[in-house]
């Protein structure tokens, strides 16, 4: 067994990006930028009114003002503001030449055909040209994972077709003769295949598409043939089950026969000690444990950051500390434990009821993982623990 951080670093060191492509802005969500982007305009591109009101000269705000035009957003001003003149103006509109302030609508009064500001005071209320962004400023750097907050930045910079890293083609399998599909009612000696649905969903949450390859029965030849066929259209194959040391755990041997180099086979982590990470050129096979809670957590710990690394993104889970809300103890301490838990609003964290690696229902109420280091048997209520997002 190797330790968690060594295993993760080894897995990530094997990730090679798969090239780049241009996509429309409408399809850029959850993609990773493959080039730096810059602004081709200033923002704001003109002196812009921050308020509805009147645009005038600051030196005239104690005088009666003559309205010479009305300026709405999108209209080019027609006149220059002179002494004791003003223009009615809307939020976002161009401030006319000669004006150096905008008096908000709530601070002015109309007296016949004139406008006055009874308080004689105002802020500038102008967003000045280029105060946010100048031409040539960086919009977003290479390696940015484009979420909804990034898309308007690209739009504002005029990047209608950003260059992004290509996405890996992923195929998901489950292994085990005991498995049946969710649509079937299992016989007493069978169980439903929940791992594949879970892993497909986890891949989709990253903005990727996962092809479901089906269930592979406990047969060396079937395992070899189905994986070999999937490799014709896949960059990454993800499997659950068949990676331990049982008589019918064929994944490691099949990988080697297919010419893959086994990089990782066991990690000193609980849950999810057995795992296979194998590489051949720019293709990868990852075999997870068959127990559903284990495979779910393994995906989060290793596969998620790996799939992101293939797209040029350095994924880092959110980490923090919290106060344990109750005593915790365990029997064995030879592996790093990722304990499903619930981070509470008061800054405490509570372990969820967890029966072991097969207890997928335990994860329903979990929103984080508490890390319990190797050698630690007990943690008392009130002690500070490390947590990571989940």
| pLDDT computed for residue 362 by the predictor | 87
Homologous superfamily, domain 4-17+166-309: MoaB/Mog-like domain (3.40.980.10)
pTM (2 decimals)? 0.91
- Tokens 């780049």: give the residue: 20
pLDDT at 356 over 90: no
In the chain, which residue ranges form alpha helices assigned H by DSSP? 4-13, 151-156, 195-204, 220-230, 251-257, 292-298, 304-309
CATH number of 48-127: 2.170.190.11
What gap in Å lies between CA 294 and CA 172, rounded to an integer? 16
CATH number of 21-41+134-165: 3.90.105.10
pLDDT at 285 over 80: yes
Q: Given pLDDT bands bounded at 50, 70 and 90, which one contains residue 264?
A: very high
67-94 confidence digits (pLDDT tens): 999 999 999 999 999 999 999 999 999 9
Instruction: Report helix, strand or coil for 111.
Output: strand
Contact criterion met (CB below 8 Å) for 95 and 126? yes
215-245 confidence digits (pLDDT tens): 999 999 999 999 999 999 999 999 998 787 6
pLDDT at 128 over 80: yes
Q: Where are the domains of the chain?
A: 4-17+166-309, 21-41+134-165, 48-127, 319-389
CATH class given for the domain over 319-389: mainly beta
Q: Given pLDDT bands bounded at 50, 70 and 90, which one contains residue 41?
A: very high
Residue 179 β-bridge partners:
191
pLDDT at 134 over 90: yes
pLDDT at 248 over 70: no
What gap in Å lies between CA 286 and CA 276, rounded to an integer? 5
Q: Do domains 21-41+134-165 and 48-127 have the same CATH topology?
A: no
């Amino acid at each position: 067994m190797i330790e968690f951080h060594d295993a993760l670093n080894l897995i990530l060191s094997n990730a090679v990006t798969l090239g780049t492509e241009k996509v429309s802005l409408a399809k850029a969500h959850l993609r990773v930028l493959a080039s730096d982007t810059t602004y081709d305009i200033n923002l704001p591109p003109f002196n812009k009114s921050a308020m509805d009101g009147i645009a005038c000269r600051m030196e005239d705000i104690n005088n009666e003002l003559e309205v010479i035009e009305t300026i709405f957003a999108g209209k080019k001003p027609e006149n220059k503001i002179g002494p004791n003149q003003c223009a009615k103006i809307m939020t976002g509109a161009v401030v006319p030449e000669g004006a150096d302030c905008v008096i908000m609508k709530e601070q002015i009064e109309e007296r016949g055909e004139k406008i006055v500001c009874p308080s004689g005071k105002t802020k500038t209320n102008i967003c000045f040209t280029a105060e946010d962004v100048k031409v040539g400023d960086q919009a977003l750097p290479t390696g940015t994972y484009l979420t909804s907050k990034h898309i308007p930045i690209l739009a504002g910079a005029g990047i209608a077709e950003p260059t992004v890293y290509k996405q890996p083609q992923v195929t998901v399998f489950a292994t085990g003769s005991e498995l049946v599909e969710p649509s079937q009612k299992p016989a007493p000696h069978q169980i439903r295949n929940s791992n594949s649905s879970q892993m497909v969903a986890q891949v989709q949450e990253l903005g990727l598409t996962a092809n479901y390859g089906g269930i592979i029965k406990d047969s060396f030849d079937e395992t070899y043939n189905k994986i070999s066929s999937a490799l014709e259209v896949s960059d990454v194959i993800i499997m659950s089950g068949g990676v331990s040391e049982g008589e019918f755990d064929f994944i490691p041997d099949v990988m080697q026969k297919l010419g893959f180099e086994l990089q990782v086979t066991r990690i000193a982590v609980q849950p999810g000690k057995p795992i296979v990470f194998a590489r051949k050129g720019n293709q990868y096979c990852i075999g997870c444990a068959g127990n559903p809670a284990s495979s779910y957590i393994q995906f989060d710990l290793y596969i998620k950051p790996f799939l992101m690394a293939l797209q040029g993104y350095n994924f880092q889970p959110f980490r923090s500390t919290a106060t344990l809300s109750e005593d915790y103890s365990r029997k064995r301490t030879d592996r790093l434990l990722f304990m499903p838990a619930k981070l509470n609003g008061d800054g405490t964290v509570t372990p969820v009821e967890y029966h072991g690696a097969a207890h997928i229902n335990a994860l329903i109420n979990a929103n984080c993982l508490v890390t319990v280091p190797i050698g630690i048997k007990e943690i008392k209520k009130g002690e500070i623990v490390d947590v990571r997002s989940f």
